[in-house]
A and B are shown apart, each in its own frame.
Chain A
């Protein structure tokens, strides 16, 4: 058992790019779910908007890379309106149902053969990130060089995405923190606690909810962009229902209605996930057996990890629904 390697990888996972794009997406989800009480179960759909915004500029429109950013944001605003208009006047569950369905349909449409010319079908899109990576070079980060110290050693390519990513996390974290301290943010929290009370104060609840949904969606979109830039490609099947669910897990792990909760939650999620993954892979180098019954093979490690994620989420909801840093009162809303 190579503990050195396990810890090195786990520590890298703790601050790695996965934690970055999860943190951004979880911040967005936090605006909707944590602060406003909107059950957006389609964050993966918003992330796909960002990723495909970037991808389509190169693949279909053949225009400058930078247009991808406004394009992705435009997509997500449209998606937010589509999801919000029919549901935000209704009880919370309807939004959950519509968002989970919309995200799934988006995935089916972008991976379909029918629309392959626009979205690249099930192979997705690649070859759009060179402008972004060249910018890293301009700042003096050589793509193939290795930087850092143990255990945080990254290639120049990884480092550049990480720097940009954490910068965005910091900016959005600050913006969300300030917004939620503002009168606007207090209205959102009040909507979560008692919609009718807010209505009786003459606030347009529907409009506030819509703003929250779209703001969270746009933040999710940026997360999708970072994800796509790191991979250098857009793969439709990455944006499945499960992605939303894992981000939700990271969010409630850290704690709802707390900026630090989304960020630390994502870091904990990936730190622990990488640790379990590396640990179990070393354990199962040879199939684990009792007598002649195989208990676990290396191919089952991935699934066991996800089972553990599910169980973590269940246990969190039973024992600490507010997450590690959250305030229990802020997760007591009912959604009815």
Chain B
């Protein structure tokens, strides 16, 4: 019995992966054009700021740039052009050294200490075929905005991140609450939403081109983001459904331990992330609509219309989710199962049905988070994986297994991460989230809205 169920899971997993491959895969394969050969693009910029503090860096022309290979052989020497750019083709992906002849800088200009004249390029840094090296001259004139404006701007960014995190964590927390599983592949469910939407929006599905008389489909088979996003979110819900149906449901029925399932999600995370990497490649890419916008200047805060709409939409989605959990029968059932599965099934709630619903809603919300994050920060293969630990911090803060806790916790962590970048360097702005995680576990391990009994 056990073996036969196992076999079905394995086979279904295979089919699912192949199906996933055919949806995402082949559309990317043909989209890449020629652009053969590797090159190094060196650019020289003079750091200038306009009167109101906006960066207005000017290119410097006529600066001598030399590229040498690992043996010290010169690959190319050139002067920067009017755009301050030199492009040197290099034979292969290898280690190179780029050096700038400081004597050719215009008189009075000096290199910023952050960009020394000699810079080494390692093989691994050729993520794309062109490696960009930028030199800055002059002082880094970071004009500090007035304190209040900086705080307001960070809070506005933080609210956006917080809403996205809240959206992504609902599924993570509810899956934990209803099944006990900590899903380490949840970040990949976020990425899935972003990339699925990207496929509809940018890559396009060629066979749809002939259907362009249907509103929303463009002649090249792509969809406007308004259509692509809901499609991506629906697929995300379907993805959650499929994971439960094909993998976790059968494992639960077999009574497989939670630790085993958790390690399985680790494998799922590795497989999915590398699958995304092989098909989507390492760079970040924007959606085709609304990628460039002028920010509105709203007093202390600058926000692009896109980000504004993203915030409003995320808020709406979260309100609908919260209301649904609070008032609908299914929502109440979900919270009941999450609170106490045994008691819930004793009162006649079909817990399998609830778990299925949680995977679908969780998958769809994670996908929606991926779409919004993609609008905010572009799409990349590990956009969700990088959020995972913030999601964990959020649901722990809110209380593992509590849906409302996940909303509150995710939001607080998002705001805190952005606001903390006022104090800590931006590259370390996620570190305070770990601090919060540890403090919560020390002081109130059940989180803000969790119940003490489920902890120990």
What residues make up the interface of A, taking CB atoms closer than 8 Å to B?
A: 37, 39, 41, 82, 85-87, 89-94, 96-98, 100-102, 104-105, 108-109, 112-114, 241-242, 245-246, 248-249, 252, 293-295, 300, 303-304, 306-307, 309-319, 321, 331-336
Contacts and interface: CB of A to CB of B under 8 A. Distances in A.
Nearest to A315: B10
B266 A311 contact: no
Nearest to A305: B274
Interface string B1-18: 000001001100100010
A108 B428 contact: yes
Interface string B304-340: 0000000000000000000000000000000000000
B389 interface: yes
Nearest to A195: B456
Interface string B261-286: 11110111111101101100000000
B92 interface: no
A293 B13 CA distance: 25
Interface centre among B17, B180, B260, B437 (most CB of A within 10 A): B260
A293 B442 CA distance: 55
B91 interface: no
Contact of A245 (B269, B400, B442): B269
A257 B89 CA distance: 53
Contacts of A319: 6, 10
B187 to A, nearest CB: 10
Interface residues of B, number: 55
Given A90-B455, A312-B267, A333-B259, A98 B437 contact: yes
Which 5 residue pairs of A and B lie closest in terms of their CB atoms, listed nearest first? A310-B271, A313-B267, A310-B270, A303-B278, A306-B274
A303 to B, nearest CB: 4
10 contacts: A93-B262, A96-B262, A101-B434, A104-B389, A105-B430, A242-B270, A309-B271, A310-B271, A310-B272, A313-B266
Nearest to A335: B259
Interface in B1-53: 6, 9-10, 13, 17, 26, 29-30
Contact of A293 (B30, B264, B268, B441): B30
Contacts of A336: 180, 258
A86 B259 CA distance: 20
A39 B262 contact: yes
Contacts of A249: 267, 270
Given A314-B271, A318-B251, A100 B6 contact: no
Given A39-B259, A87-B441, A114-B428, A314 B264 contact: yes
A309 B270 contact: yes
Given A37-B259, A313-B264, A91 B441 contact: no
B261 A317 contact: yes
B431 interface: yes
A209 to B, nearest CB: 13
B385 to A, nearest CB: 8
A197 to B, nearest CB: 15
A336 B271 CA distance: 26
A310 B260 contact: no
B393 interface: yes
Contacts of B430: 104-105, 108
